[in-house]
């Protein structure tokens, strides 16, 4: 789901940003069967002075008071939802706005879906022209089903996102993302969205995987280090574009599962290691490129030390709620940093996380 937040004459507090993030996560959970491109959310908060009358004395007196006007517009197939609200503080405005929006979503659900099972059904859905997904079994037994979905992924999301490298596009067409997600999410494997892989972790949205890969500038002869194996999907993409991929995962269950999947699919040039990724892999260093699939407050020093001169590192940097994808190029043992775009990743775990 795409969303924007804008303010006028006011600044959102960290508390408000956390509330907004939590509410948007909830919306993503209760609207599981929509194409992300068919849903958008726009939030506007405005600080203003309003004249009020006080009746505390026999003669009413006018005075000015600060208030916060808000509007949330959610565009859904068939009908947009719009809620307006006004509160004395911006935190109150955020909470009352989303409370009203959730009530509108429940009303919308009742009008356009016959029952909850149809609304929440993950396994028997299809997309129709309006963007709403209705109950109908997906023919995943067809040998070309997922191949066709990958083509749609590339044409609908990857190319429009600005990816031009033909080798990356070829890799996105070849790697079976559905093999790297949990069974209940296979029908959504080729939508441009992150998905849960368990253990509190996610598989990144494909367009972001493609972008981070492109930012590495691989030629095909590199040794690449990945921090945060997760599902193994990013490593599989890298395996088609580099000579050797080393990937580190701190969660044992994910490391074992990713290793099994990569081995089953024949990615022999990927080596999965269990460990603290913020320390890198000194025994295989130096690396031509390093990619970090989790966000930290800064790029860990051990990773900089293990990067070859002239090598590139791509990593999301920031706190839990505000992050920016950064590209570092090592020159004379120092990183020259370039900024890319705002992103949202799970936190980097480990000593330098």
Between 3 and 21, name the one with better pLDDT.
Answer: 21
Tell me which residue has tokens 């044409």.
Answer: 155
Domain extent listing, the chain: 2-51+63-120, 145-343
Q: What is the DSSP letter of 186?
A: G
d(CA 50, CA 288): 60
CA distances from 35 to 127, 131, 207 (A): 8, 7, 15
Between 147 and 135, name the one with better pLDDT.
Answer: 147
**Given the DSSP bridges, would you call strands 270-274 and 244-249 parallel, antiparallel or unpaired?**
parallel
pLDDT band at 106 (very low <50, low <70, confident <90, very high): confident
Structure tokens at 12: 């959102």
Catalytic residue (one of 16, 204, 207, 231): 204
Q: What is the DSSP letter of 282?
A: G
pLDDT per residue over 17-48, tens digit each?
777 877 777 776 666 555 555 567 777 878 77
CA distances from 230 to 35, 118, 256, 299, 322 (A): 24, 31, 10, 19, 21
Task: Give me the CATH code for the 2-51+63-120 domain, please.
Answer: 3.30.160.100
pLDDT per residue over 223-235, tens digit each?
999 999 999 999 9
Other CB atoms within a 10 A radius of the CB of residue 91 amount to 15
- Average the pLDDT over 70-79 and give the result: 78
- Average the pLDDT over 104-108 and give the result: 80
- Average the pLDDT over 205-218 and give the result: 94
Task: Give me the CATH code for the 145-343 domain, please.
Answer: 3.40.50.150
Per the annotation, the verdict on 6 as an active-site residue is no
d(CA 71, CA 138): 38
pLDDT at 133 over 70: no
pLDDT at 63 over 90: no
* 8 A C-beta contact, residue 229 and residue 255: yes
Other CB atoms within a 10 A radius of the CB of residue 45 amount to 25
Q: What is the DSSP letter of 146?
A: H
pLDDT per residue over 152-183, tens digit each?
999 988 998 899 999 999 999 999 999 999 98
pLDDT at 185 over 90: no
**In the chain, pLDDT over 70 holds for what percent of residues?**
79
User: Length of the chain, please?
Assistant: 353
């Amino acid at each position: 789901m795409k969303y924007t937040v804008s303010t006028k004459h006011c600044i959102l507090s960290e508390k408000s940003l956390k509330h907004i993030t939590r509410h948007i996560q909830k919306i993503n959970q209760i609207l599981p069967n929509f194409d992300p491109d068919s849903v958008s959310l726009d939030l506007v908060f405005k600080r203003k002075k309003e004249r009020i009358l006080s009746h505390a004395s026999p003669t009413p007196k006018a005075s000015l008071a600060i208030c916060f006007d808000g509007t949330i517009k959610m565009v859904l197939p068939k009908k947009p939802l719009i809620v307006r609200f006004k509160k004395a503080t911006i935190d109150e405005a955020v909470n009352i706005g989303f409370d009203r929006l959730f009530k509108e979503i429940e009303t919308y659900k009742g009008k356009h879906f016959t029952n909850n099972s149809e609304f929440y059904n993950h396994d028997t859905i299809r997309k129709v022209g309006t963007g709403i997904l209705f109950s109908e079994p997906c023919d995943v037994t067809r040998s070309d089903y997922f191949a066709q979905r990958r083509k749609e992924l590339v044409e609908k999301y990857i190319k429009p996102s600005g990816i031009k490298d033909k080798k990356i596009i070829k890799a996105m067409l070849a790697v079976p993302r559905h093999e790297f997600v949990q069974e209940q999410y296979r029908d959504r494997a080729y939508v441009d969205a992150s998905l849960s892989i368990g253990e509190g972790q996610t598989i990144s949205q494909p367009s972001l995987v493609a972008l981070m890969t492109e930012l590495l500038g691989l030629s095909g002869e590199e040794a690449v280090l990945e921090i945060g194996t997760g599902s193994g999907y990013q490593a599989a993409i890298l395996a088609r574009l580099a000579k050797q991929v080393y990937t580190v995962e701190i969660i044992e269950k994910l490391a074992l599962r990713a290793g099994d999947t990569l081995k089953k699919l024949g990615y022999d040039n990927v080596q999965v290691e269990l460990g603290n990724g913020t320390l890198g892999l000194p025994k295989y260093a130096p690396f031509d490129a390093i990619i970090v699939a989790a966000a930290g407050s800064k790029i860990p020093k051990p990773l900089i030390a293990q990067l070859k001169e002239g090598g590139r590192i791509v990593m999301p940097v920031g706190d839990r709620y505000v992050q920016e994808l950064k590209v570092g190029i090592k020159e004379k043992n120092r990183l020259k940093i370039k900024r890319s775009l705002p992103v949202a990743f799970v936190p980097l775990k480990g000593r330098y996380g």
